[in-house]
């Protein structure tokens, strides 16, 4: 059964990693998907692989005008949007004393302001569609402490999700956050971090890192009508880390 039949979705940061996993599964489940990313080469290749139900748009998620362009292209190609996955984000692992103001503002723009812009731009399209589902990708560092900048912004995404869920409920729009732990994405398993990740995995209750598809399973559920009574909630995919 196509669990996303009739859904029109925007997925940011979709050229690789978790975003690419979400895009592949969404198309396989019957959705029409707009993939956005700054990596034009990989994004275009993935959209080509996925066929006529996928469209790639190069997109700086910190730019309001580019958000408007993405939504306009989505509506022109497929119709009003009823699923948004705010997946784009960056990590930073510096101490407070080492972090410059410029670095801090950059991570806030990419991880936090982009989510606000996505909400603000997509909600009117969802109103035209008669409702929808917004999935904001936070982190377990939106629940527990971690590096400055990254933790701050992921907590903000969690709070923004709850505020938006309350505001959008009467539009028939649901808003939830997903909180992954350590996921085997290119950013995490690159050669200079691979050994540290493998060592850390020994301390995860399930004794391994997750595959991107394991996060996709939760995102798919939230995008589908199966989660019709879930809004303003956190969905954790961390192998038990935050249960310790």
Burial of 65 (0-12, 13-18, 19+ CB in 10 A): exposed
pLDDT for residue 200: 82
pLDDT (0 to 100) of residue 185: 81
Q: Is residue 200 part of a domain?
A: no
| Domain span at 228 | 8-183+211-235
Quickly list H helices, 94-190.
Answer: 101-108, 114-129, 150-168
Instruction: Give the CATH number of the domain where residue 86 resides.
Output: 3.40.50.720
CB-based contact 30:18 (threshold 8 Å) = no
Q: Is 221 tagged catalytic? A: no
Domain membership flag for residue 196: no
Q: Which of 104, 150, 171, 221 is catalytic?
A: 150
> In the structure, what pLDDT confidence band is assigned to residue 116 with cuts at 50, 70 and 90?
very high
Is pLDDT of 191 > 90? Answer: no
| Mean pLDDT value of segment 21-37 | 98
CA terminus-to-terminus distance, the chain: 37
Kindly state whether residue 194 falls inside one of the protein's structural domains.
Answer: no
In a domain, 37, yes or no: yes
222 within domain boundaries: yes
% of residues, the chain, pLDDT over 90: 89
Residue 199 is predicted with a pLDDT of 84
pLDDT surpasses 70 at 32: yes
**For 168-181, how does the pLDDT look when each residue is reduced to its tens digit (9 = 90+)?**
999 999 999 999 99
Task: Give how many domains the chain has, as a whole number.
Answer: 1
At 193 the pLDDT is 61
| pLDDT at residue 93 in the model | 85
| 30 inside domain | yes
Average pLDDT, rounded, for the chain = 95
- DSSP secondary-structure letter at 209? P
pLDDT tens column, 36-88: 999 999 999 999 999 999 999 999 999 999 999 999 999 999 999 999 999 99
Q: Is residue 195 part of a domain?
A: no
Q: Sorting pLDDT into bands at 50, 70 and 90, what band is 219?
A: very high
- For residues 34 and 174, give the distance between their C-alpha atoms in angstroms, rounded to a whole number: 19
For residue 19, being part of any structural domain is answered with yes
Angle between helices 212-223 and 17-28 (to 10 degrees): 50
Residue 208 main-chain phi, psi, to 5 deg: -165, 165
Q: What is the mean pLDDT of residues 108-128?
A: 98
């Amino acid at each position: 059964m196509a669990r996303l039949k009739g859904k029109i979705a925007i997925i940011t940061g979709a050229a690789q990693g978790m975003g690419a996993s979400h895009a592949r599964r969404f198309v396989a489940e019957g959705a029409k998907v707009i993939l956005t990313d700054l990596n034009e080469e990989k994004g275009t290749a993935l959209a080509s692989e996925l066929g006529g139900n996928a469209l790639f748009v190069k997109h700086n998620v910190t730019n309001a005008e580019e958000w408007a362009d993405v939504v306009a292209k989505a509506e022109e190609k497929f119709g009003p949007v009823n699923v948004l996955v705010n997946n784009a984000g960056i990590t930073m692992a510096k101490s407070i004393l080492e972090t410059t103001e410029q670095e801090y503002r950059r991570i806030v723009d990419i991880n936090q302001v982009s989510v606000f812009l996505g909400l603000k731009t997509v909600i009117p399209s969802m109103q035209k569609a008669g409702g929808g589902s917004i999935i904001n990708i936070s982190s377990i560092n939106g629940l527990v402490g971690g590096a400055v900048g990254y933790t701050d912004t992921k907590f903000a995404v969690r709070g923004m999700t709850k505020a938006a869920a309350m505001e959008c409920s009467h539009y028939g729009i649901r808003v939830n956050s997903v909180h992954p732990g350590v996921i085997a994405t290119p950013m995490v398993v690159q050669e200079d971090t691979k050994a540290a990740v493998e060592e850390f995995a020994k301390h995860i209750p399930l004794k391994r890192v997750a595959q991107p598809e394991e996060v996709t399973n939760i995102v798919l559920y939230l995008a589908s009508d199966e989660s019709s009574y879930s809004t303003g909630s956190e969905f954790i995919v961390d192998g038990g880390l935050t249960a310790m």
